[in-house]
Amino acid sequence: MESTAIGQQLSIASHTLRTGKLQTEADVKAEVIVPILRALGWNPDDTGQVKPEKDAANGKVDYALFHYKQPKVFIEAKRPGKADDPASRKQLLDYTPDRDIPILVLTDGQVWEFYFGLAPGNWEDRRFHRLRLDDHESTSNHADFLTRHLGKEAVVSDSAQYSAHELFVKNQALKHANQALAECWRELLGEPHQDLCNLLGKQVRAKCGVEPHEDDVNRFLTKVATGASWQTHGHRDEPPTDSPIPASHAETPRSRRSRETRPTFSHATLQVLVEMGGGGTLNEVLDQVAKLMEPHLGERDREPNKSGKIRWKHTVAGTLSSLRKQKYLKEDSGNGLWEVSDLGYQRLRDLQ
């Protein structure tokens, strides 16, 4: 019954907001907030449940929702268009310097912002949801959210607080993940991952009909990571000696030396196969690549991936398959023995 009531009230409120007749904070309270609270099971006429102009630490909050004389929710009302004002957000958070109110709400009728009041941080850190009554999202979705976080039954049972905390934690995790995107991207480019190289190679093949050499893909990605320009000359490319490197991407002398001297896994794999007489088993290849690449392997290379496999070993296994696909290894390679083809010998001579 409550769900039907709040859905109907949200439809009415959305229509009223679209008319543009709401101009003041008092209009928003009378036409939107109070009717919505009533539809959510609260009695706005009972100050034991809904107390207007409640004394707070730094002023008076427009509404406080109570249960057994304990405030559970603060709602700050604003005239239309003021919910996005940083001063409005600061005002709401300043009401609770001790962070003792579980849910804080800022609304101008159209925009509703929800903050987890028990957590530290600024408004961006503490906000766990934002909705607009005119954003084309179904009214039922808004009705469900408001019922779970402002409905009287949810607030009284503390399920609203638990849900708010869960959303807050999830948003914090997503925020940290987004902050790590740039760093992880630089790491992937700095030491090109086999999967990334394969993906780029396949994309180029789909566009041009020819897949570039793995070494060329590796060098291209490394240059992207360092900010160096990429200018092709025929099928090979040598980096210009005066290519500028932005300060934001500048490397330390140690990391630069490592990049300049580190062979690619493709080069290393071909080299060890040739040195072993032209072929070898996977374990033999891994042993010899380990010796060749040992000075160049970083901590990330030695860590297990999500499948539990050591990253550099997984890369070598993928490199063998890639070399076979590029005809640098014999077509029947992989059935216990990996063997270099004539094209593979020529490729290694080109690289050297």
DSSP string, 238-303: ---TT----GGGPPPHHHHHHHHHPPPHHHHHHHHHHHTTSEE-HHHHHHHHHHHHGGG--HHHHS
Rounded to whole angstroms, how far apart are CA atoms 10 and 78? 18
Rounded to whole angstroms, how far apart are CA atoms 229 and 242? 10
As given in the structure block, the two tokens for residue 171 are 């948003």
Q: Are residues 44 and 144 in the same domain?
A: yes
As given in the structure block, the two tokens for residue 279 are 């072929």
Cβ–Cβ under 8 Å, residues 111 and 125: no
Residue finishing a domain among 108, 138, 173: 173
Tell me what pLDDT residue 347 has.
Answer: 85
Q: Are residues 212 and 130 in the same domain?
A: no
As given in the structure block, the two tokens for residue 155 are 């607030």
* pLDDT of residue 21 exceeding 60: yes
**Average pLDDT of the segment spanning 88-115:** 93
* pLDDT of residue 22 exceeding 90: yes
Tell me what pLDDT residue 40 has.
Answer: 96
Tell me what pLDDT residue 259 has.
Answer: 42
Q: Are residues 63 and 108 in the same domain?
A: yes
Q: Are residues 94 and 221 in the same domain?
A: no
Q: Are residues 163 and 27 in the same domain?
A: yes
Strand order in the sheet with 103-107: 50-56, 59-67, 70-77, 103-107, 111-116, 127-132
**Average pLDDT of the segment spanning 262-274:** 84
Q: Give the domain CATH number at 257.
A: 1.10.10.10
Tell me what pLDDT residue 222 has.
Answer: 72
| Bridge partners, 211 (sequence order) | none
What does the CA dihedral 79, 81, 86, 88 come to, rounded to 10 degrees? Answer: 10
Cβ–Cβ under 8 Å, residues 103 and 160: yes
Tell me what pLDDT residue 239 has.
Answer: 37
Cβ–Cβ under 8 Å, residues 65 and 50: yes
CA proximity to 9, closest of 45, 33, 43:
33
**Average pLDDT of the segment spanning 28-40:** 96
Q: Is residue 228 part of a domain?
A: yes
Tell me what pLDDT residue 92 has.
Answer: 93
Q: Is residue 185 part of a domain?
A: no
Q: Is residue 179 part of a domain?
A: no
Q: Are residues 79 and 152 in the same domain?
A: yes
Q: Which domain holds residue 13?
A: 2-173
Maximum CA extent, the chain: 91
Tell me what pLDDT residue 6 has.
Answer: 93
pLDDT band at 77 (very low <50, low <70, confident <90, very high): very high
pLDDT band at 135 (very low <50, low <70, confident <90, very high): low
Q: Are residues 295 and 215 in the same domain?
A: yes
User: Cα 265 from chain centroid?
Assistant: 30
Q: What is the DSSP letter of 340?
A: B
Rounded to whole angstroms, how far apart are CA atoms 90 and 261? 54
pTM for this entry = 0.60
In the chain, the number of structural domains is 2
* pLDDT of residue 258 exceeding 70: no
Q: How many C-beta atoms surround the C-beta of residue 124 within 10 A?
A: 10
Q: Are residues 229 and 272 in the same domain?
A: yes
Q: Are residues 154 and 202 in the same domain?
A: no
**Average pLDDT of the segment spanning 247-259:** 41
**Average pLDDT of the segment spanning 142-157:** 95
Q: What's the mean pLDDT when you consider all of the chain? A: 83
Q: Is residue 181 part of a domain?
A: no
Tell me what pLDDT residue 228 has.
Answer: 57
Q: Give the domain CATH number at 119.
A: 3.90.1570
pLDDT band at 243 (very low <50, low <70, confident <90, very high): very low
Least confident of 180-189, 257-266, 340-349: 257-266
| Bridge partners, 111 (sequence order) | 132
Burial code (b: 16+ CB inside 10 Å, e: under 16) for 211-231 equals bbbbbbbbbbbbbbbbebeee
Q: Are residues 51 and 83 in the same domain?
A: yes
Q: Which of the pair, 306 or 265, is modelled with greater confidence? A: 265
* pLDDT of residue 30 exceeding 90: yes
Q: Is residue 180 part of a domain?
A: no
Residue 39: C-alpha distances to residues 36, 75, 109, 171, 266 (Å): 5, 16, 15, 28, 66
Q: Is residue 93 part of a domain?
A: yes
Q: Are residues 216 and 249 in the same domain?
A: yes
Q: Are residues 45 and 101 in the same domain?
A: yes
